Structure formats: C-alpha cells, structure tokens
Amino acid sequence: AQFTADPAPDALLFLGYHLTAVTLLPAAALWGIADHSRWGNAVLAFGCGTEAVLVLRMVQIWHDRV
C-alpha cells in the first residue's frame, strides 16, 4: 500500500468490513432459520465462509496500517 498523510480511506474501508462482518452472521442465521429447505443450511454455510474472508481481509488492512 502507498503511504499517505490521510488515513481516512483505510479507516473507512476497515469500518465497512467491520460493519459487514458484524451484521452478516445474524442476517445469515435469521435467513437460514426462516428457510426450511436445504438452502437454509447453504445460506448459513456461505455466510460463515464469507465471514472468514472478511476477518482475514480486516487483519490484512489492520497490519498494513501498523
């Protein structure tokens, strides 16, 4: 990453990932519970996989700023 005097873009990016990570699993859980077909389980599994990717990306952003 490029070093700039303005940390706002990285902070906003991190905040966006954080808000998505916080809201994703509850939304996927509610959707999975509401859907009584096999796709309810698929939604929850996809949400968990997406959560892992979001957390890994937040770690990359966090360590890039240090």
With 80 as the cut, is the pLDDT of residue 25 above it?
yes
CB distance 1 to 13 below 8 Å: no
Query: Mind listing the pLDDT tens digit for each residue in 11-24?
Result: 899 999 999 999 99
- Residue 3 zone, left/alpha/beta (φ > 0; ψ -120 to 50; rest): beta
List Cβ neighbours of 45 (8 Å cut-off, separation of 6 or more). Answer: none
What letter represents residue 42's amino acid? A
Tokens of 41: 């389980």
pTM of the full predicted structure? 0.77
User: Would you place residue 39 in the very low, low, confident or very high pLDDT band (cuts 50, 70, 90)?
Assistant: very high
Rounded to an integer, what distance in angstroms lies between the CA atom of residue 54 and that of residue 58?
6
Map tokens 């240090």 to a residue.
66
User: Would you place residue 55 in the very low, low, confident or very high pLDDT band (cuts 50, 70, 90)?
Assistant: very high
